[in-house]
């Protein structure tokens, strides 16, 4: 295993500064997790901002969250967790030398990721239509769209303690956080899809086997992390207060 | 030579099923008035889902102790971020201070 006889059993993908493939893999996994740790703190800053404003302007957060349709968010939750499954199955296929399956599951992940982004585009367009995008034309609660007219009475109950100007400003905070958080998440997905294309091409070219599939595995770790961010975003943005 | 743990297909399907059930429970629970426990329940379910993804989809259950430590460290740093920030903002009203003279 080591010493004078190791030269002839080197895996072609073993870098010279590692003694074994498993040591190389270990180092890669650890490095990836250190990167994900920085990502956790990156998103953590947004989550603490959300927490503070939600504590201060709860009524506005409840009313603004209620104006968001649950269905597309729930569909996206299913789609994204589904894409995590296909990603995990691709890693498993690469671990067991199934080249074709590795590529196919990667393509399935790309498709599901694209479906998620497509639904996100629909949701963003809907926000523009309802003037729920922070900025000069932002308008909340006083011009309910025909479809959400039934929401108005409940909103009225909420905003009793907030004047219209205050509600206008504080709901804008919620939507600012909505766009920054889901936007940053979507940006991570776009980056992830680009990486998935590259990895799928490499897998198709036969660059991976049961000994060396670190790129597939690292892409998987990144993709699952993005899934986890959404697991928290969904209840925090869509489900602030749905009873009453 | 290969020290990589290969999980059976059934593990992935079971975890996926559990994640789907928990997603449905999150939506259902949001429509029940639990008072101040609504966000607690929502975050607890999200926490369980994230833990399942980390342990089984990301293979941390079968990873080295150093990797496990790194995962826990990320939670530790986030805890510091939240604790220190909330300690400040949540207690500002406690002070009965007079604004400084211009």
**pLDDT tens figures, B43-91:** 999 999 999 999 999 999 999 999 999 999 999 999 999 999 999 988 8
pLDDT number for residue A8:
57
Give me the mean pLDDT over the A76-96 stretch.
Answer: 97
Tell me if B31 and A243 make a contact (CB, 8 A cut-off).
yes
pLDDT number for residue A150:
44
- Smallest CA–CA distance, residue A44 to chain B, in Å, is 6
B41: nearest CA in chain A? A235
* Residue A244 reports pLDDT greater than 90: no
Q: Each residue of A54-84: b (16+ CB within 10 Å) or e? A: beebebbbbbbbbbbebebbbebbebbbbbb
Give A 40-79 residues with CB within 8 A of chain B: 40-41, 44-45, 47-48, 51-52, 55, 70, 74, 77-78
* Residue A1 reports pLDDT greater than 50: no
What residues of chain B lie within 8 A of the CB of A26, using their CB? 64, 66-67
Whole-number average pLDDT of chain A: 90
Contacts of B85 (CB under 8 A, 6+ apart): A48, A52
- Smallest CA–CA distance, residue B100 to chain A, in Å, is 24
Q: How far is CA B101 from CA A2, A135, A199, B94, B97, in A?
A: 75, 35, 63, 21, 12
pLDDT number for residue A46:
97
Q: Which among A77, A211, A232 has the least Cβ separation from residue B2?
A: A211
ipTM: 0.91
Q: What is the pTM of this model?
A: 0.89
The dotted CATH code for A22-238 is: 1.20.120.80
- Smallest CA–CA distance, residue B23 to chain A, in Å, is 8
Give B 12-71 residues with CB within 8 A of chain A: 12-13, 16, 19-20, 23, 26-27, 30-33, 38, 42-43, 45-46, 49-50, 53-54, 56-58, 63-64, 66-67, 70-71
Tell me if B78 and A44 make a contact (CB, 8 A cut-off).
yes
**Cα A99 → chain centroid:** 27
In chain A, domain spans? 22-238
């Amino acid at each position: 295993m080591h010493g004078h006889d190791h030269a002839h059993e080197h895996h072609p993908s073993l870098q010279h500064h590692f003694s074994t493939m498993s040591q190389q893999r270990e180092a890669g996994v650890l490095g990836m997790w250190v990167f994900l740790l920085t990502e956790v703190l990156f998103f953590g800053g947004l989550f603490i901002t959300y927490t503070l404003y939600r504590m201060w302007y709860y009524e506005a957060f409840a009313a603004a969250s209620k104006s968001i349709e649950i269905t597309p968010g729930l569909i996206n939750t299913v789609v994204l967790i589904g894409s995590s499954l296909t990603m995990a199955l691709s890693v498993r296929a690469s671990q067991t030398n199934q080249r074709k399956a590795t590529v196919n599951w990667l393509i399935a992940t790309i498709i599901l990721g694209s479906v998620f982004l497509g639904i996100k585009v629909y949701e963003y367009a809907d926000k523009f239509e309802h003037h729920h995008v922070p900025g000069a034309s932002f308008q909340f609660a006083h011009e309910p769209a025909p479809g959400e007219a039934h929401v108005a009475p409940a909103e009225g109950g909420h905003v009793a303690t907030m004047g219209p100007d205050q509600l206008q400003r504080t709901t804008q905070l919620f939507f600012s956080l909505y766009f920054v958080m889901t936007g940053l998440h979507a940006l991570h997905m776009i980056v992830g899809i680009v990486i998935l294309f590259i990895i799928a091409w490499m897998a198709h070219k036969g660059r991976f086997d049961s000994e060396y599939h670190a790129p597939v595995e690292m892409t998987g770790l990144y993709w699952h992390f993005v899934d986890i961010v959404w697991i928290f975003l969904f209840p925090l943005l869509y489900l602030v207060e749905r009873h009453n | 030579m290969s020290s990589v743990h290969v999980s059976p297909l059934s593990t992935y399907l079971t975890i996926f099923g559990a994640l789907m059930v928990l997603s449905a429970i999150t939506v259902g629970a949001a429509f029940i008035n639990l008072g101040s426990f609504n966000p607690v329940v929502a975050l607890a379910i999200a926490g369980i889902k994230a833990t399942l993804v980390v342990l089984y989809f990301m293979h941390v259950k079968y990873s080295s102790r150093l990797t496990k430590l790194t995962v826990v460290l990320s939670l530790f740093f986030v805890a510091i971020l939240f604790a220190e920030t909330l300690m400040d903002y949540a207690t500002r009203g406690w002070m009965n201070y007079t604004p400084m003279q211009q």
